[in-house]
Amino acid sequence: MNEKPKEFIIEMTGVDVGTMRDQNEIVLEGVNWSVRRDEFWVIAGQQHSGKSAFLTMTAGLMPPAKGSYRFFGSETRIFNESRLADLLRMGLVFESAQLFVDLTMAENVALPLRYHRNLSAPEALKAVEELLVATELKAIADVTPANLPRSWHRRAGLARALSLQPEILLLDNPFGGLDARHSLWWIRFLERLGSGHPVLGGRPLTIVATTDDLRPWRSEGRRFALLKEGRFNELGSWREVSSTGEPVVKELLSAPTELA
Amino acid sequence: MQGKLARMFHVEKRWLQHAPLPRSYSNYFGRKLFLLFLTVHGLGAFALISLGVILRKWHVAPNLIRPLIFKETARAGIKLLPMFIFVALALGFLTIGQVMTSLTHYGAAGAIQYLGSIMVIVIVRELGPLLAAVLVLARVGTANVIELGNARALGDVEALETMGVDPVHYLVVPRVIGMTVGVFSLTVYLILGTLAAGYLFAFLQEVPLTPSQYYTQLADSLTSLDFAVVAAKSLSFGFFIAIVTCYHGLAQPLRLEEVSRVAVRAVSQGIIVCVFIDALFIVLYLVT
């Protein structure tokens, strides 16, 4: 018996993407892309290929310059207060984590919960304890970000994005600047999130991640795309990625020493 | 939210700020006039948005926002009290010292009977509220622009927006309420401290004036309008200082290197706004 295709979470048709500073400065043109529930997408691209702008637009922080963007079936320009319920179905992890420096790691993670569920500080800290344990932040929960290495910041950014139990998670270059130990943790954790992690009640999470290095993302279950010369190119599965003759993909698959 | 903030800053304003040098004075003044109009428009819109958020979201996340309001009130109020006590002492000494020296110089032997009236005119009606506002602007307003400018430049506003947290509610509302309450309270303390310090100076100079005579002079010079105007003035100063500093820190996309320039502009505009409000109240006095 054929399995019914899962619902679309993201559908883009002919979308042009600008930058946050100037939305008329187009970095990507004519994006046609759709994401179904439980899919795991990796969007690759070299630096300045428009990955962050693309993710920012997908997260509803800026409108598409042109084209149609449907999020959970509803036409979307930008997430304002009238679309708050939809916005909270999405979590975004920034490359630089964007933690608040005057809050501790635990307070940063608890911030969305405190705002949307009107929790007091002790109630919120109790509510995020499981997340802090899962992301191995428990021991440094009371430390402010300025006193910790940046690799831990992104974990707090991830925990914060997961705190409201989103249905889709967007990650901006999650492995950028991480050492092998942290990268390995992220690979395993994202794999578990994709298949169903206890912090989300075992529900599989739809994931979209951007990257400038394809090597850590080797997996058959994932779908890949490439941002190149202002265009969004769907690559397919890992098998298709590893067998493509596309020079940029080859570059993103090569270790720096291999390029030398 | 992004749209709300983005609308605050127009392409025309950017063009005006970076346009080539004027070819004539008329171009120069025209450009300045347009910039002034756009700034007033931006500040007005930002003030209305902030007021709207204060009223509309008063009951949203009180467990998170109210502690922030207390924190900002302490920062713009209680924590500045030691500095204000020093300023009140100095101001009281200076005012009474100058008044006594000048009046004695001109041979006004009966000058003592006007000390209370002069203190009310100089301190209660003018210097007290204005000085309190300028000091809060210098100490807290500057920090506001830098903090918010850094938050804007580093992407904290976008982080709040992705969490569904209204940046105006989280970053601006506590500062606006904190500075409004702070300037009002500090104005009251500054006036009371200065009046007391003035008498202390007169006492040390062996001016033949009893505390009850001084009190009676003050009470006779004060009208109910004075109380209303001091309250209205200091609350307006606090509100608009917060609006100007938050507007410049938040309402436009910034780079880190632009923060210092924006801080200078915000402080100068804050002073201009205070003087402008003060002038409006002088007109009110003249009319009534």
Where is average pLDDT lowest: A201-205, B10-14, B118-122, B277-281? B10-14
| Residue B26 touches chain A, beta carbons under 8 Å | no
Can you read off the two tokens belonging to residue A257? 């020493």
Q: What is the pTM of this model?
A: 0.85
Q: What is the ipTM of this complex?
A: 0.87
Report pLDDT for A68: 92
pLDDT (average), residues A11-34:
89
Say whether pLDDT at B133 is over 90: yes
A interface with B, Cβ–Cβ < 8 A, is: 20-21, 56, 59, 61-62, 78-81, 84, 87-88, 90-92, 94, 96, 98-100, 111-112, 114-116, 118-121, 160-161, 164
The answer to whether residues A207 and A41 touch, using CB atoms and an 8 Å cutoff, is: yes
Could you tell me the pLDDT band of residue A259, with boundaries at 50, 70 and 90?
very low
Average pLDDT, chain A: 88
Alpha-helical regions (H) of A135-197: 150-162, 180-195
What are the structure tokens assigned to A25, written together? 């400065």
**B11 has a pLDDT exceeding 60:** no
Across residues A212-226, what is the average pLDDT?
87
- % of chain A exceeding 70 in pLDDT: 97
- Comparing A231-245, B98-112, B272-286, the range with the smallest average pLDDT is B98-112
Nearest to B188 by CA among B114, B131, B143: B131
SS3 (DSSP) at A227: strand
- pLDDT at residue B12 tops 90: no
Contact with chain A for residue B2, Cβ under 8 A: yes
**pLDDT score at A2:** 60
Calculate mean pLDDT across residues A150-173: 93
Closest by Cβ to A115, choosing from B3, B165, B253: B165
Separation between Cα atoms, residue A163 and residue B10, nearest integer Å: 36
Residue A139 to residue A105: CA distance in whole angstroms: 10
* B1 pLDDT tier (thresholds 50, 70, 90): very low
Rounded to an integer, the average pLDDT of B11-40 is 74
For the ranges A124-128, A166-170, B155-159, the one whose mean pLDDT is highest: A166-170
CA B55 to chain A, closest CA, distance in angstroms equals 16
Residue B139 pLDDT level (bands cut at 50, 70, 90): very high
The answer to whether B45 touches B251, Cβ cutoff 8 Å, is no
Residue B29 tokens read as 């003044």
Q: Which residues contact A238 (CB under 8 A, 6 or more apart)?
A: A217, A218, A219, A220, A222, A224
Q: Please give the mean pLDDT across all residues of chain B.
A: 87
Write down the pLDDT at residue A256.
58
- What separation in angstroms does the CA of B239 have from each of B41, B135, B195, B248, B259? 17, 14, 25, 14, 22
Query: Could you report the per-residue pLDDT of B168-192, keeping only the tens digit for each?
Result: 999 999 999 999 999 999 999 999 9
Mean pLDDT in residue range A44-65? 90
Q: Could you count the other beta carbons within 10 Å of the beta carbon of residue A167?
A: 18
How high is the pLDDT of residue A41? 94
Closest A-chain CA to B159: A98
- pLDDT for B9: 54
Q: Where are the alpha helices (DSSP H) in chain A?
A: 51-58, 84-87, 105-117, 121-127, 129-134, 150-162, 180-195, 238-243, 247-253, 256-259
| In the predicted structure, residue B229 carries a pLDDT above the cut 50 | yes
Task: Tell me the mean pLDDT in the region B190-209.
Answer: 89
- Cα of B145 vs its chain's centroid, Å: 14
Rounded percentage of chain B residues whose pLDDT exceeds 70: 90
DSSP per-residue string spanning chain B = -HHHHHHTS-HHHHHHHHSPPPSSHHHHHHHHHHHHHHHHHHHHHHHHHHHHHHHHTTTSSHHHHHHHHHHHHHHHTGGGHHHHHHHHHHHHHHHHHHHHHHHHHTT-GGGGGGHHHHHIIIIIIIIHHHHHHHHHIIIIIHHHHHHHHHHHHTTHHHHHHHTT--HIIIIIHHHHHHHHHHHHHHHHHHHHHHHHHHHHHHHHTT-S--HHHHHHHHHHH--HHHHHHHHHHHHHHHHHHHHHHHHHHHSS---GGGHHHHHHHHHHHHHHHHHHHHHHHHHHHHH-
Identify the pLDDT of residue B284: 80
Please determine, for residue A9, whether its predicted confidence score (pLDDT) is greater than 80: yes
Under 8 Å between Cβ of B142 and B263: yes
Chain B interface mutation, best of A22, A25, A94, A98, highest count of B Cβ atoms under 10 Å: A98
Cβ–Cβ below 8 Å for B1 and A94: no
List B residues 135-164 in contact with A (Cβ-Cβ < 8 A): 154-156, 158-159, 161-164
CA distance A34 to A50: 18
Count of A-B CB contacts under 8 Å: 72
Q: What is the pLDDT of residue B2?
A: 47
Q: What is the pLDDT of residue B109?
A: 61
Whether chain A has a CB inside 8 Å of the CB on B239: the answer is no
Task: Return the closest-CA partner of residue A256 out of A223, A211, A212, A224.
Answer: A212
- Least Cα distance to A115 among B253, B167, B228, B206 occurs for B167
CB B160 within 8 A of CB A111: no
- Tell me the shortest Cα–Cα distance from B168 to chain A, in angstroms: 12
Neighbours of A121 (CB within 10 A): 14
CB A4 within 8 A of CB A38: no
Q: Measured between alpha carbons, how far is B65 from B169 in angstroms, rounded to an integer? A: 8
3-state secondary structure at position A144 = coil
| Coil vs helix vs strand at A233 | strand
Among A22, A55, A61, A208, the strongest candidate for a mutation testing the B interface, having the largest count of B CBs within 10 A, is A61
Closest residue in B to A20 (Cα–Cα): B253
* Residue B7: per-residue pLDDT: 53
